Amino acid sequence: MALKDGFLWGGAVAAHQLEGGYDQGGKGLSTMDVTTSGDQTHKRRFTREILPGENYPNHEAIDFYHRYEDDIALMAEMGFKCFRTSIAWSRIFPNGDEAEPNEEGLRFYDRLFDCCLEHGIQPVVTLSHFEIPLHLVNEYGGWRDRRLIGFFVRFATVCFERYRDKVTYWMTFNEINNQANYMEDYALLADSGIVAEPGEDRERTMFQAAHYELVASAAAIEAGRKINPAFRLGCMIAMCPVYPLTCKPEDILMAHKAMERRYYYADVHVNGVYPANTLALWRRRGFDLDVTDEDLAQLARGCVDYIGFSYYMSFAIEHKQGNVHYDYREDTDLVPNPNLKRSDWGWAIDPIGLRYALNWFTDKYALPLFIVENGFGAYDKVEADGSIHDPYRVDYLRAHIEQMKLAVDEDGVDLMGYTPWGCIDLVSAGTGQMDKRYGFIYVDKNDAGEGALERSRKDSFAWYQRVIASNGEEL
């Protein structure tokens, strides 16, 4: 038996990608409520307000807000032990900066978590998953502003106190390192609510915002521990290992530098201090960041208990001539890995990369790990009889679970659980599409927003049910 008893099999989603009900229950607007849909060739756009004639896929999403009871029953049918979702900050604090929370928003998550627990499903909760109250962007410029630390800690504390006896597993910021790709507008916006100004030094902006987030995360963790010492408080890292394209020393060092840039956030979460490489980079750039002694003390008091991470793909990089400082530039220096196939969205399929990632985290941090996202975004076809055959999804997940088991069995990785992403079809974060599907449960809705929102079981549903029932033995 590779996996321990009590292994947390389940699935993962995020509030804005499935709830809908964007203006229900006293909810305020969130950044994702004013972000349009896109597709493979068109980027999503942040419009700052709701404009007529635009398609905002998160307004309705899959209407989980009204249908969660039936959806959780389907997850229970698959045998889920846990269900990872996020709390929409703007349901609890509609503007983000109020003194008192919105009771109706709190009650929604009471009902949702109670429903999970009645089915024997543990909620696993991310506090900030790619959205913040829109007011915090318009009034404060998002995480550019130090005052967001206080607002976030208040939000986290309210959630910890309210759901003290319902939720054990928490994560502070989803894929906090996604913004390492700061040249992509979406990366800055999703994580930090930052709209970059023309000509601004985006790298500096990113490091400053990420610093405030890391301090806020540490302060929340310190508060959470006092509220319930049994809480398990983690971070969440987007793990895309960066491989050297060749064994040229320049490429090896380039890949190493890329890994430092993508994962310094984990160093801070785990060790409570900035690594030397990041401090050296700030010095070299001449960044005079707002980092106080009290901040540094706070970081050290709020280290995580475990590392949650997503894994979809690996990257490859080569050292380009003239890049004397081995700076990581995700938009220009990544290259296709000739050894790997890609999804329809260009994501390299690399199951062994998951084993590599599990080993890398374990060797570097020696903490329990939780794979809180993994999955295959694909187009699905509904047959005339309503069935959906998705062997490509099963192939992807099987290959990754095999590698995950090897990491536990042969490499000694301490793994808490596995929650594939988008266990029910939902709105894609990157493109805003519905037709980029990850689910075991199909949702009848397409990119144009058409469909009756009915749910049905794909072939992968019964497959995953068997996987869970056999604790990963029957793949």
Q: What residues are labeled active site?
A: 175, 373
Nearest distance, CB of residue 217 and ligand P53, angstroms: 16
| Residue closer to ligand P53 (CB basis): 292 or 446 | 446
| Residue closer to ligand P53 (CB basis): 102 or 178 | 178
Residue 35 touches ligand P53, criterion: CB under 6 A: no
| Residue closer to ligand P53 (CB basis): 265 or 421 | 421
CA-only gyration radius of the chain, Å: 21
Residue 174 touches ligand P53, criterion: CB under 6 A: yes
Residue 148 touches ligand P53, criterion: CB under 6 A: no
Residue 337 touches ligand P53, criterion: CB under 6 A: no
CB atoms within 10 A of CB 79: 17
**307 within 8 A of 365, measured Cβ to Cβ:** yes
| Residue closer to ligand P53 (CB basis): 298 or 428 | 428
Residue 188 touches ligand P53, criterion: CB under 6 A: no
**87 within 8 A of 159, measured Cβ to Cβ:** yes
| Residue closer to ligand P53 (CB basis): 101 or 308 | 308
Q: How many residues does the chain have?
A: 475
Name the residue with tokens 């099963």: 394
Per-residue string for binding with ligand P53, 40-79, x by CB under 6 A? Answer: ----------------------------------------
Residue 125 touches ligand P53, criterion: CB under 6 A: no
167: helix, coil or strand?
coil
Interface with ligand P53 (CB under 6 A), residue total 16
Stretch that binds ligand P53, among 101-109, 116-124, 136-144, 422-430 (CB under 6 A): 422-430
Nearest distance, CB of residue 86 and ligand P53, angstroms: 9
Residue 173 touches ligand P53, criterion: CB under 6 A: no
CB neighbour class for 450 (10 Å; exposed up to 12, middle 13-18, buried from 19): exposed
Q: Which of residues 371-390 bind ligand P53 (CB under 6 A)?
A: 373, 377
Contacting residue, 46, 93, 109, 130, with ligand P53 by CB under 6 A: 130
Q: Which of residues 225-264 bind ligand P53 (CB under 6 A)?
A: 238
CB neighbour class for 287 (10 Å; exposed up to 12, middle 13-18, buried from 19): middle
C-alpha to C-alpha distance for 81 and 439, rounded to whole angstroms: 17
Least Cα distance to 142 among 198, 229, 212, 224 occurs for 212
C-alpha to C-alpha distance for 397 and 416, rounded to whole angstroms: 17
C-alpha to C-alpha distance for 46 and 423, rounded to whole angstroms: 26
Per-residue string for binding with ligand P53, 306-325, x by CB under 6 A? Answer: ----x-x-------------
Q: b/e for 355-394, b at 16 or more Cβ within 10 A?
A: bbbbbebbeebebbbbbbbbbbbbebeeeeeeebebebbb
| Residue closer to ligand P53 (CB basis): 175 or 213 | 175
Chain residues binding ligand P53 by CB under 6 A are 14, 17, 130, 174-175, 238, 310, 312, 373, 377, 421, 428-431, 436
